[in-house]
Structure 1
Amino acid sequence: MRATPLLTTLSLALVLTLAACSKGGKPDDAKAAAKPAAPLLLAPEDLRQVGQSGLIGAPVITGAIQPARRADLRAEVAAVVLQVAKDNGERVRAGDLIIRLDPTAIRDSLTSAEEAVRAAQQSFEQTERVLARQRTLNQQGMISMQGLEDAEVRRNAAQSELAAAKARAVTARQQVTRTEVRAPFDGVVSERKISVGDTVQIGRELVKVIDPGSMRFEGQISADRLGELKVGQPVAFRINGFGDVEFRGKLARIDASANATTRQVEVIAEFDDRAKAPQVAGLYAEGRVESAERRALVLAEGSVQRQGDAAFVWKVAGNQLKKVSVTLGDRDDRRGEVVIASGLALGDVVLRSPTSSLVDGAAVQRVAAGAGAASAVAAAAAASK
């Protein structure tokens, strides 16, 4: 049977179409397959270095930030408060007036004491003149030796009374000066306990003055860890109210006795940089004494991923991203760090917050600060279209 012209035409068109497909395929798909994957762009804030620390498992110190120079000013005389010149938080210079007490009664005592000094002075001068006359008469044989001795006794008694009167006047004068409570050194007024009109007795606490430039960490540590402590050891601690800011210092003093109730030993750590120390006393602080024998590689837990019992991190090696298995050690709950027992070395760079979509061996490229990985990848994807 002979083929019709229509069938011949359809067959020819089908052959041409298949030939075209076998030669070119889909142009868009081929172009996409040929294009290499865009590198993962990483900014400095996307990365974290493996560090070293001696804090995990080290002795823990708890305490507060306190000034080394502080003075509790108390009333030295009983009087009424007339003036409060400085309030809490105000700075003072050495000698500045802080509180003035009523000096009326004390000034009256001073006036009486000064009058007693003048009277004793006159009495002493009179007995001196009498003694001089008695000596002259005794030399002339006109009075007995007993009369001369009596004159000397009266002169000595008047001299003693004059000395006592002068001492009472000095005491009264000091009492007057004590009605003015002044700053003993440059600092800040803290914990004012009285107000104008209050009647204070001797020994009552009036106000505290502290030196903010002398702040230090005063804390307690378990006596069980005393054998690990040495003066000069580094101390890392955090202070309530300052978030995750870590302060550094050195162990300056270890108390010679433990508290009989808590069995803790008091220690003092000085700030490495006093300029960065808080200017407020009494803030709670907690830290650890860094021991050289306990130093280990540490990494923030956010950089570690887990898969069952296995743990791994994403390490940046040159221009590639590597999935590296690690063995974990002790964990520091307070700092959020974990010991890296094996798998990494000091200074290795890893991803700070890895995601589940990462590929081992993927290309990476460093970018300037501020261009985070997510935004950089999105920009790269948009540029490649």
Structure 2
Amino acid sequence: MTLSRRFTAPRTTLIAGAVALAFAAGMLAGCQKSGARSAADAASAPSSALLIAPEDVRTVALQTHASGPVITGSVQPERRADLRAEISAVVLQVLKENGEAVHKGDLLVRLDDTAIRDSLQSAEASSRAAAQALDQAQRQYARVKTLQGEGMSSQQALDDAEVRRNTAQSDRVAADSRTVAARQQMTRTEVRAPFDGVVSDRKVSAGDTAAVGKELLKVIAPDSMRFEGLVSADRMGDIHPGQAVQFRINGFDKTDFAGKVRHVDASADAVTRQVAVIVDFAPGTAPKVAGLYAEGRISSDASQALLLPEAAIVKEGDKAFVWKLAGNTLVKTPVTLGERDARLGNVVILSGVAAGDRLLRTPGSSLTSGQKFELAKPVAPAASVALGA
């Protein structure tokens, strides 16, 4: 029994030592894996500095700010004609479509002339009969007058012959008038272009019944476009012919148009209290499409101001901010806004920034003041890279 105890104790000690060794090895391996995972996480963690592309940065600069009256309206042709039916007839043919160019005198619409042609033939026949009757009455009057001079006819017969001659003359004039009227009606069955231009609005098709006064189509002269605008009557005293106007046209958002005031109405509209103003385009700049909406300012007072697009301004309630690039840090800077320039869509900045400051062009909502940033290097064009290689 004593020997058995001597040999059992060392075996138990060896087993416990092996377990402890295995546990220590497992702990060491776990620590190594944890350290490796921490290093990998640290390597994959994003940098705290915000990367900004050069095109996302805007430099504040002084610009010309026109503070005159706002003018809104549309582009309209000075020469335009609403061609309407002058007779009641069926439309036989429409020869031009919208957008087609026409020349003065070109046939545009043909109306049914059947009834008018019959009237013309009848009037011409009546005119010929009246002419024959007048010729006969004149010869009869001449014979009676000769006989009366020789004492072979009475004065009464001469007077009767003169009456018949005068009546025949009146009938001839009336018949000729009816013939002329019928011919005029015939010409009205053919609607022609009054000037060189373009068909802008076709109103009828073949088979339609055109009553007197019905609009058939419109013709405009694209080279006679002008800006027909409206200005508040409160600013009427600030407007006079010859003033410069800067404006934008819907459809030409990247183009600024310039013109001069030609005419200012002497009275305001009784309902809208606005005054109509006509603006001529600068030579060679007028668009060729009528009806486009336009908005701008009459330059009655121009000054230099700091202007920013609305996309660069962040509004929080009644307050406005911009994100300024100061060194390598983003700073949320409050600004004071002035009036909006309708011509450019920019806002006047009264305070908060100065000329030369760099701002984010379109700031996002996840920015924080004091955040670090880095400017990305411009990417070289593919052609330049190939040449460099």
Q: Tell me the number of residue pairs that the alignment of Structure 1 and Structure 2 aligns.
A: 310
Which deviates more, 154-163 or 125-134? 154-163
Q: Which of 100, 111, 115 is the matching residue for 1:105?
A: 115
Q: Within 5 Å, which residues of 2 pair with 1:1-385? A: 50-55=62-67, 58-273=68-283, 275-292=284-301, 294-301=302-309, 330-332=338-340, 334=342, 335-339=344-348, 374-376=376-378
Question: How far did residue 343 of structure 1 move?
Answer: 11
- Letter aligned with residue 141 of structure 1: G
Deviation digits for residues 75-128 of structure 1 (CA, Å, limit 9, x no counterpart): 011111111100111111111111111111111111111101100000000001
SS in 1 for 2:176: helix
Distance 1:209 1:336, change over 3 A: closer
Distance in 2 of aligned mates of 1:151 and 1:185: 53
Deviation digits for residues 9-55 of structure 1 (CA, Å, limit 9, x no counterpart): xxxxxxxxxxxxxxxxxxxxxxxxxxxxxxxxx99x97675322323
Is the contact made by 2:322 and 2:359 (CA closer than 8 Å) also made in structure 1? no
- Letter aligned with residue 274 of structure 2: Q
Question: How far did residue 64 of structure 1 move?
Answer: 1.2
Question: How far did residue 248 of structure 1 move?
Answer: 1.0
Is the contact made by 1:303 and 1:352 (CA closer than 8 Å) also made in structure 2? no
Distance in 1 of aligned mates of 2:313 and 2:109: 62
Question: How far did residue 164 of structure 1 move?
Answer: 1.2
SS in 2 for 1:168: helix
- Letter aligned with residue 305 of structure 2: L
Is the contact made by 1:303 and 1:353 (CA closer than 8 Å) also made in structure 2? no
Which deviates more, 117-126 or 249-258? 249-258
Which deviates more, 330-339 or 168-177? 330-339
Distance in 2 of aligned mates of 1:104 and 1:309: 74
Question: How far did residue 277 of structure 1 move?
Answer: 2.0
Distance 1:305 1:264, change over 3 A: closer
Question: What is the TM-score normalised by the length of structure 1?
Answer: 0.70
Percent sequence identity is 52
- Letter aligned with residue 142 of structure 2: A
Distance in 1 of aligned mates of 2:85 and 2:269: 31
In the other structure, the counterpart of 2:31 is: none
Question: What is the TM-score normalised by the length of structure 2?
Answer: 0.70
- Letter aligned with residue 284 of structure 1: Y
- Letter aligned with residue 117 of structure 1: S
Question: How far did residue 61 of structure 1 move?
Answer: 1.3
Is the contact made by 2:322 and 2:360 (CA closer than 8 Å) also made in structure 1? no
Distance in 2 of aligned mates of 1:115 and 1:352: 89
Q: For structure 2, which runs of at least 5 residues remain unmatched after alignment?
A: 1-53, 326-332, 364-370, 382-389
SS in 2 for 1:142: coil
Is the contact made by 2:61 and 2:306 (CA closer than 8 Å) also made in structure 1? no
Is the contact made by 2:204 and 2:216 (CA closer than 8 Å) also made in structure 1? yes
Distance 1:374 1:156, change over 3 A: farther
Which deviates more, 114-123 or 276-285? 276-285
In the other structure, the counterpart of 2:384 is: none
Distance 1:303 1:198, change over 3 A: closer
Distance in 1 of aligned mates of 2:198 and 2:380: 54
Q: Which has the larger radius of gyration?
A: 2
Is the contact made by 2:74 and 2:228 (CA closer than 8 Å) also made in structure 1? yes
SS in 1 for 2:202: coil
Distance in 1 of aligned mates of 2:313 and 2:153: 116
Distance in 2 of aligned mates of 1:304 and 1:176: 67
Q: For structure 1, which runs of at least 5 residues remain unmatched after alignment?
A: 1-41, 315-324, 360-372, 380-385
